[in-house]
Every structure is written in structure tokens, then in C-alpha cells.
A and B are shown apart, each in its own frame.
Chain A
Amino acid sequence: MHIPDGFIDLPTSAAAGLIAVSATALSLKKAKGELDDRTAPMAGLTAVFIFAVQMLNFPVAAGTSGHLLGGALATVLVGPYAASLALTVVLGIQALLFADGGLTALGLNILNMSVIGVFSSYFIFKIAMKFFPKVRGSIALAAGIAAFISVPLAATGFVLEYAIGGTGTAPVTTVFAAMFSTHVLIGIGEAMITVLTVTAIMATRSDLVYAWKSADVKLEVRNS
């Protein structure tokens, strides 16, 4: 899912970079009021955990692998703004130290994974929770649904960028079909890892889980 340099032209990458910077600035501002002595370490751990699990590519189809993006997992654990920042830290470390994802493509990768991946997860999670009873088990289930859907959505982010500034010659519709179908499969893995992790943390320290803490008080209120 990490876009290398060259797939997308520079103007489009720069535009994505601008969106990424604005989104990060907004998340910094919003996360500032939300984190306290207990949840700030949790947000750091979430970034660390996602870095680790992103190394674990799992096979999805003949000759193809996928790995966790972590948008839904992070959102449920620490809320969308801290989640977006956590993902951005991971993407920055990967691009700068590991040459995983290009440097000029960093804005594109942040847009797809830290912005689309995280905030689509947040809204899907909220919607799913409206249909579920407000019990512990619902959190992991709704997280899994958000995880499953957010991956093809993040992949669609790439396709949009390819449509605007892709340097390849393959038609956009073909690229879309291939990206979408592959990432639906990766989404299944994403959902499984997310459900497993959220279930484990809900069983041990549900008081640290953002989505559970805010479930009884704030779930009905849909702040913009």
C-alpha cells in the first residue's frame, strides 16, 4: 500500500502533501485536548504496535501479500485525531529510515492511510455502533467492519491519485478493478487482526479504549 516515488507525478504528490500537512495540523490541534496522562502513552503504543504489525505481510492471493494499515484499530483505541498522528509517525519512520514508501510520495501515503484510512474508519465505526447494542463485544465487531471497509477505500485513494497524476499508461478503470478486488481481500486480514487486537485490549484494559470510554456518553452526539 506504500506508494514509492514515481508512480504519481510531482504536482499531484505536492497537492497531496498540502492536504496531508493541513490534516496533520488539524489532528495536532484536536488531539491536544483529548490526550491525558493515561491515554498519551496509549497513543504512543498504538503507533509502535502498528509499525510492528505492518511488517507482518500475510498472503492474500497467488503471489500477493498484504499487511495491516491500522486505521480502524488506532481510531478505536485512541480516537481519530491521535490515530491519524500515530499513522503519520509510522509512515514518516518507514519512509525516512526504511525507504518504505517514497519521500515525494509521503503526502500521498499520509492522505491514503492517515487521513482516508483513519477517518473513514471513524465514520464507519460510528455508523456500525448505531446498529449494535452498547455492550463490550460490539466495539471489536464494529472495529472489524470499519477495518474491512477502510482498506479498499484507502486503495481507492491511490486510484484517484493515479487518475489525476499517474505516470503509468494502464487505464484507470482497470487499475481500479485490480486495486479494489485485491484490497477487499487484504481488508479481510485487516478485519481479523483488528478484531483480535481490540478484543484482547478490551478484555484487559477496556478503560483505556477510546471508543468504549466514549460509547456510553458521547456515542449519540455526532460532532463534526
Chain B
Amino acid sequence: MKTQDKKLRKFYVAFFSVAVALAGVVSFYASSHPDGLEKVAEDQGFLDTARDSAVSGSPLSDYGISGIASERLSVGLAGVLGVLATAAVAFGLFRLLRKKR
């Protein structure tokens, strides 16, 4: 039982680490072209109907940290912060929902 718990924990940590690496490092290499919806909106002439989100001034807006000049560092840190924020909310929520044994 004990070793099983250890193995399980190891898997969770590995899964989480992959996410951190993807958001923190690999994200720098993502395509910066507009995504499918944005491209269609541009081609069909309704891209200009978009309005700025009320939080567009957020220090993390557009997956970069305002004030950090290095693009690699800026997107990587934003990604890691996003992973941590998602983890905090998601683990909290699903912890509340689980059946207690």
C-alpha cells in the first residue's frame, strides 16, 4: 500500500512537471500566427468588432509579463504562473468534490 502511494505520487509529480515544462519552456516556440477563429474573423472582416477585455490591462495579458523584456522569460514565467493558478483552483475544486473514504 505504501509503495503504491509512492508510485502514484511519482506519477502525479511527473504529469505536473510535464505541464510546467510545456508552459514554461516549450511555449516560447509556439506559433504566433492568429488562431483559427481570429484568422477567419480577419478574412471575413469582423475582427474589428472585437473589443478589449475589461482585464486587458492585466500584467499577464497575452501570456507575457509586462515589464520583462526577454520574450523567452516573459512568456515562460507567465506560463508557469498560469499553471500554478490553474492548479490552485482545479485541485481545490476537485478536492471539495471527491468522495471521502
Q: Which residues of A contact B (CB under 8 A)?
A: 1-7, 28, 31-33, 35-49, 51-53, 55-60, 63-67, 82, 85-86, 89-90, 92-103, 155, 158, 166-170, 174-175, 178-179, 182-183, 185-186, 201, 204-205, 208
Separation in Å of the B80 CB from the closest CB of chain A?
9
Residue of B nearest to A155 (CB): B36
- State whether A4 and B63 are in contact (beta carbons under 8 Å apart), knowing that A44-B91, A57-B33, A89-B86 are contacts in the complex: no
Q: Which residues of B contact A (CB under 8 A)?
A: 8, 11-12, 15-16, 18-20, 22-23, 26-27, 30-37, 39-41, 43-46, 49-56, 58, 60-63, 75, 78-79, 81-83, 85-87, 89-91, 93-95, 97-99, 101
Contact residues in A for B79 (Cβ distance below 8 Å): 52, 55
CB contact between A33 and one of B18, B40, B99 (< 8 Å): that residue: B99
- State whether A67 and B22 are in contact (beta carbons under 8 Å apart), knowing that A55-B79, A97-B58 are contacts in the complex: no
Q: How far is the CA of A51 from the CA of B43 in the complex (A)?
A: 28
Number of A-B contacts (CB under 8 A): 218
A49, B19: Cβ atoms under 8 Å? yes
- State whether A56 and B15 are in contact (beta carbons under 8 Å apart), knowing that A47-B86, A86-B90, A178-B40 are contacts in the complex: no
